[in-house]
């Protein structure tokens, strides 16, 4: 039977042959998770994703959400899988069992998350955002806040959101107008309006907990005066029971291009003057809390882009193997040439190979990020912890932006492989493209990710995270040379050196009078880093697979050969395009800022 959402053999390859994730069982934290246990967890996740979540993808898109008498109604098909999702403890897979988690290695939770996201991203956003809210409570909450909220969130019994955006304060969070006024009992009255709040309400849960950014009266303007508050839809009593209505009103749900099954809400807090919240974290330190939320969200959005892509790719491969049309070019001169599956046609195969190269490369990158988290949590040497924290920081903006841009490209190619059928809503590809587009926009547009990479991450700790990343790539180059892949290794090494030159050029310009020109090329620099990292991931894959081809069984021989050929395709056919982008970054064009504003009118 054809697979539908992700290639299990490839998941196993990344987990066990690239990352050797079972080595984590040698640590005290993950002692229960040997290879057999990890495989069992992944098998159960796949069964649940295919049997329970995937059937809701189309129905959820068609049914959408409704706002009735102030209550959001999610697609009816979501209720059963959500209940089972919570009962099976999938909400907090990598968190402490003492607070409702499974305690899985982060790498394994990423692999499970790929399956759930690929099955139906709109559905997964409800528990995903709930987990993000729980992470804030777990990290910044007082003992009382943890007692009241954490288990309810990590179990999925209650829902959670992130309430940052306002009509006049999107990317510029410091412009927000929501106000918090202190009460005598230590709570705060909250007044303000938020928009674009994913999962802002639902009938899946009896209560929704909102982390809300607001400014305490008298605090400084801009980002220096922002604080974070926990604001429940219904007040939570000291004994943990649900109390009175907390004046949190859903004023509308957005009608969107995609992810129709997830409620994107506008919310009024305190329109009747009766909304209360409690400060979480330090006063005026809401931006620090926001980045805690945003980093997990950005990594999650990278997975969303990948999830849409991997499902579109699997659909396209299955379709291309079954769709019979036109003769093979080599038989065109025969008297009566027979039509063949379209996967035999060179341009279709080219499209599939582009899709495969991005899907496989992003899977490796996302799992590697998960492994970095596991190293942070298990390493005893502070230098190692610092190194892997730095790798997470430098990779996050690239994974979010590159993963979602290329995810959208893969979904577009997925339609192309289907031809006219791909453009028809009866088939699955159109929805995946519609749903994927938002990933390049929310949790910081991809342009913002480029600014983050250039403005914050590149020079972080005097450039150490960037140097550590380049060191990891150099180690893979050495491994590939030992495996007899000298030509591919040399090409990746050339790209590595050129990205280093780009970093010096654009980083220097960002600290000079050419700062605007530098940031005008920040997105392109980010793409260059993404191209390099994809080349690195494919070289790593090939270096692992190449020595195993000769002794492999027939099925594995094809798989390992496919790893090497995919790497060859990306490094020889796709990476040279990246080298051209690198030349453009080094050139640091001034045309972007030279363009007169009036000239855009035409």
What is the per-residue pLDDT across 34-62, written as a single tens digit (0 to 9) for each?
A: 999 999 999 999 999 999 999 999 999 99
Cβ–Cβ < 8 Å for 338, 325: no
From CA 247, how far away is CA 374, in angstroms rounded? 41
**Whole-number pLDDT of residue 184:** 95
What is the CB neighbour count within 10 angstroms for residue 323?
Answer: 17
**CA–CA gap between residue 42 and residue 105 (Å, rounded):** 12
Residues 106, 469: Cα–Cα separation, whole Å: 20
pLDDT digits (tens, 9 = 90+) for 185-226: 999 999 999 999 999 999 999 999 999 999 999 999 988 999
Q: What is the DSSP letter of 353?
A: H
pLDDT value of position 1: 54
User: Which residues are CB-contacts of 5 (< 8 A; sequence separation ≥ 6)?
Assistant: 46, 49, 50, 54, 115, 118, 119, 307, 310, 311, 314
Beta bridge partners of 71: 68
Q: Quick check: helix, strand or coil at residue 327? A: strand
Mean pLDDT confidence for 458-463: 94
Known active-site residue 597: no
Mean of pLDDT values over 479-500: 98
Report pLDDT for 354: 98
Cβ-contact 233, 204 below 8 angstroms: no
Mean pLDDT throughout 61-75? 96
Band (pLDDT 50/70/90 cuts) for residue 69 is very high
DSSP string, 254-299: ---SS-TTS-EEEEEESTTS--EEEE-SSTT-HHHHHHHHHHHHHH
Instruction: Express each pLDDT in 383-436 by its tens digit.
Output: 999 999 999 999 999 999 999 999 999 999 999 999 999 999 999 999 999 999
Share the mean pLDDT of the chain: 95
Candidate list 114, 296, 393, 443, residue with the active-site label: 443
**Six token digits for residue 139:** 């990290």
Residues sharing a CB contact under 8 Å with residue 185, sequence separation 6 or more, in sequence order: none
Q: Does the pLDDT at position 602 exceed 80?
A: no
Q: pLDDT tens digits, residue range 553-577? A: 988 999 999 999 999 999 999 999 9
Tell me how crowded residue 220 is: count the other CB atoms within 10 A of its CB.
Answer: 12
**H helix or E strand, kind and range, residue 248:** strand 248-253
């Amino acid at each position: 039977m054809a697979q539908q959402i992700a290639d299990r053999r490839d998941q196993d390859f990344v987990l066990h042959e690239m990352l050797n994730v079972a080595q984590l069982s040698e640590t005290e934290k993950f002692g229960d998770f040997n290879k057999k246990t990890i495989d069992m967890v992944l098998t159960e996740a796949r069964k649940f994703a295919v049997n329970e979540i995937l059937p809701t993808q189309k129905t959820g898109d068609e049914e959408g959400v409704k706002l009735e008498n102030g209550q959001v109604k999610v697609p009816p098909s979501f209720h059963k899988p959500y209940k089972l999702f919570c009962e099976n403890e999938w909400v907090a897979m990598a968190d402490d069992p003492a607070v409702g988690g499974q305690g899985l290695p982060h790498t394994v939770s990423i692999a499970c998350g790929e399956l759930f996201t690929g099955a139906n991203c709109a559905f997964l956003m409800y528990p995903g955002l709930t987990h993000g809210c729980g992470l804030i409570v777990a990290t910044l909450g007082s003992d009382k806040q943890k007692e009241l909220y954490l288990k309810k969130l990590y179990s999925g019994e209650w829902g959670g959101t992130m309430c940052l955006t306002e009509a006049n304060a999107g990317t510029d969070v410091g412009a927000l107008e929501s106000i918090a006024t202190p009460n005598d009992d230590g709570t705060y009255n909250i007044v303000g309006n938020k928009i674009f709040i994913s999962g802002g309400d639902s009938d899946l849960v009896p209560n929704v907990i909102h982390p809300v950014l607001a400014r305490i009266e008298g605090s400084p303007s801009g980002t220096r005066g922002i604080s974070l508050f926990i604001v429940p839809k219904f007040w939570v009593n000291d004994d943990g029971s649900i109390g009175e209505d907390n004046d949190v009103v859903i004023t509308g749900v957005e009608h969107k291009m995609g992810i129709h099954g997830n409620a994107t809400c506008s919310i009024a807090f305190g329109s009747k003057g009766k909304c209360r919240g409690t400060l979480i974290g330090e006063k005026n330190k809401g931006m620090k809390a926001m980045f805690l939320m945003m980093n997990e969200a950005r990594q999650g959005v990278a997975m969303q882009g990948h999830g849409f892509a991997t499902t579109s790719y699997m659909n396209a491969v299955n379709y291309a193997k079954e769709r019979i049309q036109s003769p093979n070019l080599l038989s065109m001169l025969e008297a009566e040439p027979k039509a063949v599956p379209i996967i035999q046609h060179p341009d279709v195969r080219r499209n599939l190979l582009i899709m495969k190269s991005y899907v496989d490369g992003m899977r490796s990158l996302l799992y590697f990020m998960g492994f970095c988290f596991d190293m942070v949590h298990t390493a005893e040497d502070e230098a190692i912890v610092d190194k892997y924290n730095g790798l997470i920081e430098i990779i996050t903006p690239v994974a979010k932006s590159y993963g979602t841009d290329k995810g959208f490209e893969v979904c577009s190619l997925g339609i192309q492989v289907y031809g006219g059928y791909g453009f028809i809503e009866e088939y699955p590809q159109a929805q995946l493209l519609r749903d994927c587009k938002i990933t390049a926009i929310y949790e910081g547009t991809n342009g913002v990710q480029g600014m983050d990479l250039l403005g914050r991450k590149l020079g972080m700790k005097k450039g150490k995270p960037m140097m550590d990343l380049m060191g990891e790539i150099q180690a893979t180059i050495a491994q590939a040379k030992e495996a007899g892949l000298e030509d591919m290794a040399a090409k990746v090494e050339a790209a590595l050196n050129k990205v280093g030159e780009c970093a010096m050029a654009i980083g220097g310009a960002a600290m000079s009078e050419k700062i605007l020109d530098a940031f005008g090329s920040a997105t392109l620099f980010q793409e260059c880093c993404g191209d390099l990292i994809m080349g690195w991931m494919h070289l790593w894959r090939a270096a692992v697979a190449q020595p195993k081809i000769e002794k492999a069984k027939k099925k594995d021989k094809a798989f390992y050969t496919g790893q090497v050929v995919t790497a060859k395709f990306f490094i020889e056919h796709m990476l040279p395009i990246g080298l051209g982008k690198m030349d453009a970054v080094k050139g640091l064009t001034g045309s972007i800022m030279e363009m007169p504003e009036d000239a855009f009118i035409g």
